[in-house]
Structure 1
């Protein structure tokens, strides 16, 4: 009953959030925060441990769908251009994020996690915002989607590195071995997705939707467990099997069925994260979160303009790119969950929670208003007029041309033919006005 009440409350707040185009992530977190035993605002006593297992399913399906939606054709067809655009975004945001994390002083492992939190966008929120705002046909949208494709590839590599870092191994050869296992796992799964998807397609030849659903959900859990077993986290295992199934001819059906499942289980994940938060701990990280938010906005504006420059877009398109890529969400919370399981600094949890609450609201608001912001900050370029031409003269000469062409098109009526004197008077008047304009400019 308690869980049902929480979801009904989440539905009501979600309806209100839709009015201002807010994503569901901060809504679910807010409901969990209100129901948290640390808060005392909610009249029901609720233990977050009751839904931890379901929350893990939510994490797995979030990463599974991320891999499922990965566009291999776009990546392999335009790898060079995408690497320049997406790589610029990742290097700038992750690099400065890691530097910020080091300055925080919690430790190098914590700095690596903070870099991922502030340096990676939410592809789910980005795609949803582009659809809801009707911007799929905009000039800057291919550059945005290209950057998210590279971001998804980077997440796979980043998670593999993070899994080794969080394992606590410090000796050289065990670390090299773990990184090698992760690299082999990545390469094999990418190769299967590229050239062996037909083998997996054969598994899904059934008209029974129930068996079809059981199969892909089972594969997601199986590979998540395999990833955990070989030491690269369950998240990356789920992502990679999603990548493989996304390359099969049944990807559309899998996505159609899996999205409602993802949304329900992901709600448990965000709700459970909110339940673990303590508002009293926000004060200890508030100033760090404010710095992180300002840093995110500044870095996204810079990288957005650079991406626009690389793709031969104008500054207004750069503002749109910056606003859309600024959206943060589920991956930040996933990193916080992984870091807490590894025993890192406890302040990462309230830091991630407050950061996502702010960015999941600020990002969509800026995205929805980015075109107006760009119009207010950047004036459109004016085409330069041809040197030596006067607009008054051009207008009068155009009138003469129109009169003359009218004469040529009506040869059957010589009485309508303009006299030579009339044409000369028009030209003289135009020249006189042009000279008068030039004299006023000189004075």
Structure 2
């Protein structure tokens, strides 16, 4: 419901907002507003050296139907459409970074730690949310959202700080890959479970897992035999427009197929990206889709911000703080503990723990939006997660920098071997 007052824009530009104007006119108007305000906020966050995600979400809040004194968005349904397009393109481009060869050669330790910490954080946050009085499905989707670290924000922070090739960052990158795959798969299962009425039964859970597993396996096994060849044929024409249309057709086609069998469009888009990554034209395809990723990422985050009812935010400041601390502590302790048990030195374990414990972002918002799409979560969860995303994204550079202030010095043992010890000096 639109709680803001009527917009003065129609009275200023009556020719653009005549009564006879149809939905198409309003879509163009809303799209123009989204992109213009996003560009303005992007410039501001760039000047302030803050992550773009924060600017996009704040831009959405500014133009949204819940922000007084008036709404700059004419049709709220347009926001849902734009957000869905943003999800598909965002997950598709993420998928292009994960060819199957890379997934197969991923370190066992990254895989094991990511599964343990994602599952552990999910369970701990779920019980914390239940203790705070959230409903079962609100707690379930919230816990899944908070069990995932933002790949985009974390990698950007590590690159900006010049630590992307460090030992701990290599571990973090491996865990981010596993988390992305884990959360996309878990979201598909949760949505099927919620859409089925939420009645827990082992046969029902088995069916959800079976459908999800069969779809993923079928797309990867069968698709990898034929789809990369089709993409390469399009690439050999040297017609970049043809190649772009082919890969976009694949992205939206698999998204449509996944929604048709009751799964999230996100999983179809992600798998489409993986198939594109298998082709010899993957590098060119990635370059062609990067501008689309940036545009649709902006659309997605702005749309999410606009869908947030900011009047509810004050009610959830304390729960948001508790959930942030709970998820942060869970990830940090689990990751550090598992890596130390796996014979990593304490400093590397702590750095990886801090790197994985901070930012929540794109996939966290996708999870809650997915729960909202199937009617499983209440309207209060999106603004709550919006607050969590903004706070954790803002704090991410400082937390990661703090973790990396722990440096190493070598001391020689009597037998000639070296031992790594902690030093209190900062990183240069």
Q: Which residue of 2 aligns with 1:395?
A: none
| Alignment partners' CA distance in 2, 1:364 and 1:130 | 8
**Residue 190, structure 1, aligned to residue 220, structure 2:** yes
* TM-score (normalizing by structure 1): 0.78
SS of 2:167 mapped into structure 1: coil
CA positional deviation for 1:164: 1.2
Once residues 93 and 133 of structure 2 are traced to their aligned partners in structure 1, the CA distance between those partners, rounded to angstroms, is 35
| Further displaced range: 100-109 or 153-162 | 100-109
Pair 1:34 & 2:62 matched: yes
Aligned to 1:89: 117
Q: Which moved more, 1:324-333 or 1:81-90?
A: 81-90
Answer yes or no: is 1:256 the counterpart of 2:284. no
Q: Which has the larger radius of gyration?
A: 1
**CA distance change for structure 1 residues 58 and 203 in 2, over 3 Å: closer, same or farther?**
farther
Q: Distance in 2 between matches of 1:212 and 1:251?
A: 11
1:106 equivalent in structure 2:
134
Q: Does residue 294 of structure 1 match 2:322? A: no
CA distance in 1, matches of 2:403, 2:291: 30
**Which of 332, 342, 345 is the equivalent residue of 2:374?**
342
Counterparts in 2 of 1:124 and 1:196: CA distance versus 1, 3 Å = farther
Give the 3-state SS of the residue equivalent to 1:383 in structure 2. strand
Asked if the contact 2:168–2:348 (Cα under 8 Å) also holds between the matched residues in 1, the reply is yes
Match of 2:255 among 224, 234, 237: 224
Q: Relative to structure 1, is the Cα distance of residues 20 and 74 closer, same or farther in structure 2, using a 3 angstrom cutoff?
A: farther
- Which is worse superposed, 309-318 or 227-236? 309-318
Q: Which of these residues, 126, 138, 143, is aligned with residue 154 of structure 2?
A: 126
Query: Displacement, 1:346?
Result: 2.2
CA RMSD of aligned residues (A): 2.7
Rounded to whole Å, the distance in 1 between the matches of 2:101 and 2:205 is 34
Are the counterparts in 1 of residues 188 and 263 from structure 2 also a CA contact under 8 Å? yes
Counterpart-to-counterpart distance in 1, 2:86 and 2:344: 38
Bigger drift between 357-366 and 14-23 goes to 14-23
**Counterparts in 2 of 1:42 and 1:95: CA distance versus 1, 3 Å:** same
Are 1:36 and 1:46, in contact at CA under 8 Å, matched by a contact in 2?
Answer: no
Change (3 A) 1:191 1:6: closer
The corresponding residue for 2:314 is 283
User: Is 1:330 matched up with 2:344?
Assistant: no
Deviation at 1:57, TM superposition (A): 1.1
8 A contact 1:85–1:310 mirrored in 2? no
Aligned to 2:394: 361
Q: CA deviation at 1:15?
A: 3.3
**3-state SS, counterpart of residue 180 of structure 2:** helix
For residue 71 of structure 1, report the CA deviation from its aligned partner: 4.6
CA distance in 1, matches of 2:320, 2:146: 10
User: Unpaired runs of 5+ in structure 1?
Assistant: 388-443
Report which of the two has the higher share of helix. Answer: 1
CA apart distance, 1:3:
4.9
CA positional deviation for 1:281: 0.3
Give the drift of 1:43: 7.8
Give the match's secondary structure for 1:140.
Answer: helix
- Indicate conservation of the 8 Å contact 1:85/1:146, yes or no: no
2:64–2:71 CA contact under 8 A, matched in 1: no
1:427 is aligned to none
Corresponding position of 1:137: 165
Aligned length: 382
* Pair 1:244 & 2:244 matched: no
Tell me, yes or no, if the aligned pair for 2:188 and 2:212 is still in contact at 8 Å. Answer: yes
CA distance in 2, matches of 1:299, 1:226: 36
Distance (Å, rounded) in 2 between the aligned partners of 1:22 and 1:304: 27
Is the 2:191–2:371 contact (alpha carbons within 8 Å) kept by the matching residues of 1? no
Are residue 265 (structure 1) and residue 293 (structure 2) matched?
A: no
The Cα of 1:177 is off from its aligned counterpart by 3.4
Consecutive unaligned residues of structure 2, counting only runs of 5 or more, are 1-28, 416-428
User: How far is 1:8 from its partner?
Assistant: 4.0
Match of 1:370 in 2: 403
* Native 8 Å contact 1:33 1:275 kept in 2: yes
Three-state SS of the structure 1 residue aligned to 2:311 is helix
